[in-house]
Amino acid sequence: MRHSYCPDELLKHTERIRECRVQCLTNSEETDRLERLVTAARNLGADAAKIIDSKKVVVDKRVRLKCAIPVCASYGRHLMCPPNLMSVEEFNDALALYEMALILQVEADYNSADKTAAGLSKEICEDLEEATNTKDWELKLHRIVNDVEALAFKEGFYLAAGLIGGDCALCPECVTPGSGEPCRRPFEARPSMEAMGIDVFRTCQEVGLPIFLSSDKKVRWTGIVLLC
């Protein structure tokens, strides 16, 4: 006898299987591997690290829009920034195939309070970056994300993929736009979460991690390693 399922039922069924799988994975020997990754992230210098269901990662096309409006100084000039990346739709399709992720944060030792009532400008961003050593914190996060991704691969999560925060700062200047010059550090460079369309603010809220906008709290840089 043949059974037929309506698409909605099939989707619900698939979702249930997926939820059970995530539950089983986190309840079995996988727990040890995941805990080792969280411990490694903390030992490498992360101030927060936790395993989350990848469904908690919020993707929103408006985040990609904000790369262009107002246009970021790196837009179209940086190999790891839009429009030099896959589309938000392509990323979202790939994200749906991941089951878990390790989200991590690095807390800088300066606050993010507005220093002026004026709107953002290139000069204000550059002054703030210089005064607060932004690149140092971005690079610290980048190093941890790359190391955790490599460890995840060795733990058997062979499709592990890391995303950083902010534009890739491995070189003082990225390659000249339109030059055709390849990335100088291709195995180390990573795009940011926001460049892929991830709403970092809402994702952090979803998983109970602190994140502050223009507050007098210390800045937290957020990165993620997708796992499956």
Interface with ligand SF4 (CB under 6 A): 79-80, 168, 170-171, 174-175, 183-185, 189
**Cβ-based burial of 139 (10 A; exposed 0-12, middle 13-18, buried ≥19):** middle
For ligand SF4, which is the closer residue by CB, 163 or 168? 168
For ligand SF4, which is the closer residue by CB, 36 or 77? 77
Closest distance between ligand SF4 and the C-beta of residue 189, in Å? 4
Helix (H, G, I), strand (E, B), or coil: what is residue 120?
coil
Q: Do residues 112 and 217 lie in contact, with contact meaning Cβ atoms separated by under 8 Å?
A: yes
Q: Do residues 226 and 97 lie in contact, with contact meaning Cβ atoms separated by under 8 Å?
A: no
For ligand SF4, which is the closer residue by CB, 38 or 86? 86
In this structure, what DSSP letter does residue 67 have? H
Closest distance between ligand SF4 and the C-beta of residue 138, in Å? 11
Closest distance between ligand SF4 and the C-beta of residue 178, in Å? 14
Helix (H, G, I), strand (E, B), or coil: what is residue 14?
helix
Kindly provide the b/e burial profile for residues 102-118, where b requires at least 16 CB atoms within 10 angstroms of the residue's own CB.
bbbbbebeeebeeeeee
Closest distance between ligand SF4 and the C-beta of residue 12, in Å? 42
For ligand SF4, which is the closer residue by CB, 8 or 173? 173
